[in-house]
């Protein structure tokens, strides 16, 4: 299985680049006790399945996601398409209403419809060992470079995934905001039950302090924000960046 997969991220929007939160020393409150619970291990074997639906009837088939050791293998079944060559994408953000998958997606190697293919490989390091944030697999085709479409990778079929297990860090469903502290003075949004669901980075914020404000680890922040750009594990925070704190919305 020598197939190649790459992670696509969107280019920076035109205009001023985000401002980095200052790294200068700041007064720090007493750290919150970090969780003693450990992430659950992902099950081995078949963990998700989906059926491809095509609005124009060009493509049918199904897909299984099978965990084998430290990788997830994508197995396409009964694939039939009028398109000879198809791209295979796992959008990292909700893209159900988007006709394109041009950014924020894990890109598998292209396939030739009707030709048997080895399983397509995705490392479990994507999503910190928990790929349940991926809601679908999309099959795409390259559009013409004549200006007739704003897409590069046009979706021809989607397969919503049904996972056999829930998020592997359930302890993140009980976060509590300990309040403003040095290095974590940003704005918090709460849901109707009072649980924090988002955090907006303020000047002088530091990632360990932001994590400590909610009693979690930096790795938990990465887990909750698998589609964070420019890199999910970027230790730098950017003023105005919105961090997700709701493990159901990762």
pLDDT score for 103? 81
Confidence of residue 231 (pLDDT cuts 50, 70, 90): confident
Coil/strand/helix, residue 149: coil
The reply to whether omega before 26 is within 30° of 0 (cis) is no
Ranges 38-42, 201-205, 209-213: which has the least confidence: 38-42
pLDDT score for 36? 61
pLDDT score for 56? 84
Per residue in 3-61, pLDDT (tens digit) is: 344 444 443 333 444 566 754 333 334 444 455 678 999 999 999 999 999 988 999 99
Q: Which of 79, 69, 64, 66 is nearest to 110 (CA)?
A: 79
Per residue in 110-169, pLDDT (tens digit) is: 998 778 789 999 999 999 999 999 999 999 998 755 455 678 889 999 999 999 999 999
Superfamily for 170-250?
LysM domain (3.10.350.10)
pLDDT score for 196? 98
Per residue in 81-119, pLDDT (tens digit) is: 999 899 999 998 776 678 888 788 999 999 987 787 899
Neighbour count for residue 97 (Cβ, 10 Å) = 5
**How far is it, in rounded angstroms, from Cα 203 to Cα 218?**
18
Mean pLDDT of 66-72: 96
- Which one-letter DSSP state was computed for residue 181? B
**How far is it, in rounded angstroms, from Cα 226 to Cα 249?**
10
Taking the domains of the chain in order of start, what are their residue ranges? Answer: 45-163, 170-250
pLDDT score for 22? 53
Mean pLDDT of 227-232: 84
Does the structure show a pLDDT above 50 at 171?
A: yes
Tokens of 137: 């697999």
227/51: higher pLDDT: 51
């Amino acid at each position: 299985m020598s197939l190649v997969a790459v992670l696509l991220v969107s280019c920076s929007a035109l205009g001023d680049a985000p401002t980095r939160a200052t790294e200068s020393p700041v007064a720090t409150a007493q750290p919150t006790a970090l969780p003693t619970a450990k992430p659950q291990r992902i099950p081995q074997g078949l963990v998700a399945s989906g059926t491809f639906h095509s609005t124009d009837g060009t493509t049918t088939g199904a897909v299984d996601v099978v965990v084998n050791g430290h990788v997830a293998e994508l197995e396409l079944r009964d694939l039939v398409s009028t398109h000879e060559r198809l791209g295979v994408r796992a959008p990292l953000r909700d893209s159900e209403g988007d006709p394109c998958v041009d950014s924020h997606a894990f890109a598998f190697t292209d396939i030739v419809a009707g030709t048997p293919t080895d399983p397509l490989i995705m490392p479990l390091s994507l999503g910190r060992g928990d790929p349940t944030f991926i809601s679908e697999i999309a099959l795409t085709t390259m559009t013409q470079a004549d200006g007739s479409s704003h897409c590069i990778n046009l979706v021809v079929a989607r397969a919503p995934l049904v996972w056999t297990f829930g998020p592997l860090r359930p302890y993140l469903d009980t976060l509590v905001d300990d309040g403003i502290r040095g290095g974590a003075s940003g704005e918090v949004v709460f849901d109707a039950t009072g649980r924090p669901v988002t955090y907006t980075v303020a000047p002088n914020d530091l990632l360990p302090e932001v994590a400590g404000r909610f009693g979690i680890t930096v790795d938990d922040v990465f887990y909750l924000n698998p589609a964070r750009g420019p890199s999910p594990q970027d230790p730098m925070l950017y003023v105005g960046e919105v961090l997700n704190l709701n493990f159901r919305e990762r």
